[in-house]
Structure 1
Amino acid sequence: MTARTFTAQMSVFKGRWRVYVVLMNTTDAWPEFGFDRALPVPTFTERMEALSVLGFEPVPGAEWAWTEDSEAYGDPASPVVLIAAMRVRSWTGAGA
């Protein structure tokens, strides 16, 4: 059985970093792990451990890709929001 693939994202929400896995076409809550801090940014190892807790792992060759957005759409003076994303797969037997 082939594991399903998803997009994991990491962003700051209410002043704290969080990793979550995007589940499309469902009303189920997205799996989420909160780091309970704004700084420092979670390390690669911490992000991998968070994904593991959620029952996911990176697909082979996947890397975190960072992008920036603005807090207020269309306002170039708005504070920057950083978002990281990576393709992940559910572990065989993991409920996702």
Structure 2
Amino acid sequence: MPGTFTAQMSMRRGRWRLYVVLLNTTDPWPEYNFGTATVPTLAQRVNAFSVLGFEPLPGAAWEWTEDSEVPGDPASPVLLIAAVHVRAVGA
């Protein structure tokens, strides 16, 4: 879908952060740091998108996946990553 992006939320250095993935550019990705180890609420996420100038697509649902901090190591800590499709506000 043109004008849509994938936003992801993950924990880094003990704090949750949300960022919008911008492909085919060298521009920095818009990022919001929640400053908390607690998983941000849906309302906090929508507010963060607003600050960044984005909004979730109507009906979009968050999808959660897990990754490994050390790829290929079954004893590695698990990293949780959430993703949702977004668009620029007013698009």
Q: Same fold (TM over 0.5)?
A: yes
Instruction: State which of 40, 50, 53 in structure 1 corresponds to 2:51.
Output: 53
- The residue number in structure 2 matching 1:85 is 83
Give the aligned length: 90
Q: Give the drift of 1:92.
A: 2.3
Rounded Cα–Cα distance in structure 2 between residues aligned with 1:82 and 1:73: 14
Whole-angstrom CA distance in 1 between matches of 2:64 and 2:21? 16
Residue type at the aligned position of 2:68: S
Q: Which residue number corresponds to residue 67 of structure 1? A: 65
The separation in 2 between residues aligned to 1:58 and 1:42, in whole angstroms, is 15
Stretches of structure 1 lacking an aligned partner (at least 5 in a row):
none
User: Which runs of at least 4 in structure 1 moved beyond 2 Å after TM superposition?
Assistant: none
Q: What is the CA–CA distance in structure 2 between the aligned matches of 1:63 and 1:48, rounded to whole Å?
A: 12
Indicate the residue corresponding to 2:31 in structure 1.
32
Cα drift, residue 44 of structure 1: 0.8
Counting aligned pairs with the same residue, the percent is 66
Unaligned runs of 5+ residues in structure 2 are none
**TM-score, normalised via structure 2 length:** 0.94
Normalising by structure 1, what TM-score? 0.89
